[in-house]
Structure 1
C-alpha cells in the first residue's frame, strides 16, 4: 500500500474519533439550548452557540472536517468513508464511559451491527485507482437527488412529529453530510491543479447548502432523540451516502468476485437492520419528553 494511501487512511481514522467526540459534545450542548426551529434558523443557531458545550463540539467538529478533507485528497472516497465508519464502534463506549449515557443491550447490538456492516464494506472494497475522475452529469444527478431527499426528511412535519423523529432527523443529517462529502471530494481533487479557482463551482454551493441543512437537522435530532441512536444513524447514513457517491459518481470499482458482492449486500442489510434497533424504546423516549 503506497504511503499516500496509508496517510489518507490514518487521517480518516483520526477524523472518526474526533467526529464521535464532537457529536457527543454537541448533544450535551443541544440539550441545554432552546429548541431548534427551521423557521428561525439564525435565532436557533445563536441559541445553540450560547451553550459552551455545543460551541466546543463544533470546534472539535471543524478539526475533524479538516482531517476529513485531507483524507479525501489522498485516498478514494469509498475507502475513506469505510474507515470513518469503523469509528461507529466507538460511539457506545464513548457515550457510556465518557459522557454518562445509559446504553441498552439492543443499542449495543445496533451499534455492533452498524460497525460490522460498514467494516465489511471496507474489507471487501477492491481499491484500485485514485477515484479522482468523475462525470459532471452524474455528480449533478447524485447531488440534486440526495439533497432533495435529505431536505424532505428534515422539513416534513409528519416525520418530525414521529415518536422516533430524532432518528429520522439523524438520517436526514447523515444523507446531507454525505452529499457534502461527495462534493468536497470533487473540490479536493480539483484544488491541486486549478488552485482556489476550483472553489468557484456548483459543487461548493452544494457542499455549503447540504452542510448548513445537515447542521440544523442534526442539532434538532440530538435535542429530541436518543444520543447513541441519532449519532449512529447519522454516521451510518453519511457513510453509506458517500460510499454510494464513490461508486456512482467517481466510478470507483465494484468487486468482480460474486462472493464478495454477496458479502457487500449482507453488509448493507446489517446496516439497515441496525437502524431498527438503535432508537431507544418509544416509551422511554416519551417518558424523557414528559420529564
Structure 2
C-alpha cells in the first residue's frame, strides 16, 4: 500500500446501493484503502455478506434511500456507531428500458425516485455530518447525464437530474469546505447490465453506439478510478477517460441522436423491460411494501 492510498485510512464512508455491482466494488476499494464503510441498500442478506468480507470495521443498514425518515435515522446511527462521516458516495440506482408510451408508470416513476430523489435524500441526511468534517460527497452519474438516448427516458432524466443537482450542491457547499464530485460512467459489468442485454431493446440500442462507447468495463476497474477521485476530492471523474471530451459536443448530441434514431430504430419491435437486475427487483418490492403497485414486468 502506497502512502497515497493511505490518505483515507481510518475515515468513515457511506456507500448507498452497496449490496452488489459498482456499490459493492466501491465499498471493497474504500476498505482496501483503510476506510470503515457504512453499507446502505435494500438487500439485507447481500449487505451482511459484503460487510463481513471487508477488512475494516464496516456495518450495514437495510434502508430505502427514498425514505426520508428512515434515512434520517440511519444518518444518526452511522456516526454514533462508526465515528464521524467524511465521505458519502450516492451510488444507488435502477434502470428500465423501452418505449416511453408503453412503459409501466410505476416502474418509470421508481427510476426517478431511486436515482434522483434517493440521491437528494442521501445528501440531505448526511450533509450535516460532511459539514462537520469538511468532507466529500460523490454522486454517481452516467454517460446519460451528458447525452440522452431513446428507449431510456426515465434513466436519462434521472441522471441529467443528479448532474444538475450535484452542480448546484457543489456551489452551495464550496464556502463551507465540503467538496462535491460527479462520476460520469459508461457501461459497467453488473447484473443490471447483464440483465439488460437479454432484451432486444437494449442490445439494439448498444449496437448503434461506436465500439468504444459500447465497451463494458469491470466494476473493480471503475471502483478504483472512483475511489482515487475521492482521495483527490476531484470535482469530476470520467470512466473511460475519453468521456470527458463528450462534454465539448453535448450541445449537438440531441440532434445527432435523433437523426440516427429516425433512420435505425423501429419502435414496434421493442417492449418495456421493467426494472432491471436484482437491484431493480429489490427496488420494486420496496415500492410495493410502501404502498405502490407491483411492476408487471
In the superposition, the TM-score normalised over structure 1's length comes to 0.29
Higher RCO, Cα 8 Å, sep 6+? 1
In terms of fraction of residues, the more strand-rich structure is 2
In terms of fraction of residues, the more helix-rich structure is 1
In the superposition, the TM-score normalised over structure 2's length comes to 0.29
